[in-house]
Structure 1
Amino acid sequence: MVRHDTFTISRHLDVPPGEVFTAFADTTIRRRWFRLPGHAASYEHDFRVGGGETARSTYTGLDTAPERLEYRSRYIDILGVRRIVYNYEAIIDDQLRWTSLVTVQLDAETHGTRLHWTEQAAFVRYTGDGGTDLAHLRGATVLRLNGLDAALQPRPPRRPPVDVRTGLRD
């Protein structure tokens, strides 16, 4: 049996839609907020219709065996700085766990952008009745959007290092 779930998360971001769009399109900025958990991660990103992203990592949880994680996406529709539609697959230890269709809509608001993230997931393998997996996906999406928001914040200037002999900054 396949379990389905659809959810929408909306939030205000303090930058214009063009900057939010760039955080999806620009690989350097994207790496600041889109990452797989674990170590030995690798990423390939091609932001265009028909392009996509592949990410792999190895995750070891507390008292669990290492898991090989893989994420594969394909961009279906990109409408300027207003909309991104893509699908992705989540694969754990070479087994497809779920696939999703995601629509990201960016609407200009006073002092920023209203982002609407709608995800339609189909869990083909799940734990128990699937309720934990659905909650995990929703929670992980909230965390990912928190990372997006943080990546969009101005970065503080780097402070010069403290000289260990004098305790003063250069």
Structure 2
Amino acid sequence: MNITFETPDQPAVHALIRELDAHLYSLYPAENVYALDIASLCAPGVLFAVVREPDGAAIGCGAIVIQPEYGEVKRMYLRPQARGRGVARRLMEVLEAKALEHGCRTFMLETGPTLDDALALYERMGYRRRDPFGDYPDHPCSVFMQKESGA
């Protein structure tokens, strides 16, 4: 497995984002899916990583949007066949390390309450539940989490 920072504007990433969106929209009402589109993921201040198999096939992605006071984890996705191998944890570690290089010391995220594997991963990595942040409304379809870096 290889994790590199790449442009999100490429066909392999478009396919990953379509899969992620289909999954999220199957679980939650559209107004409660706070997804960034490809153009937003290409904006300055967005760190976007792609996970690839040794043969080059894209199997996952994730981003951190650097805000003035925190980095927000966005668009975390692994294809089902890539799950259960520690890949998501490694992707998060790579994203956080890159964000630390950009001066980010606080990480936040919003995720869905039924995404049990994601919630468990975030908790194992030191994220703790918190109140809504940014422009997010307080809603039962959202779980908000935060982690302070020790670096």
TM-score (norm 2): 0.29
> Per chain length, whose mean CA-contact separation is higher, i.e. which structure has more relative contact order (CA < 8 Å, sep 6+)?
1
Higher helix share: 2
**Length-normalised TM-score, structure 1:** 0.27
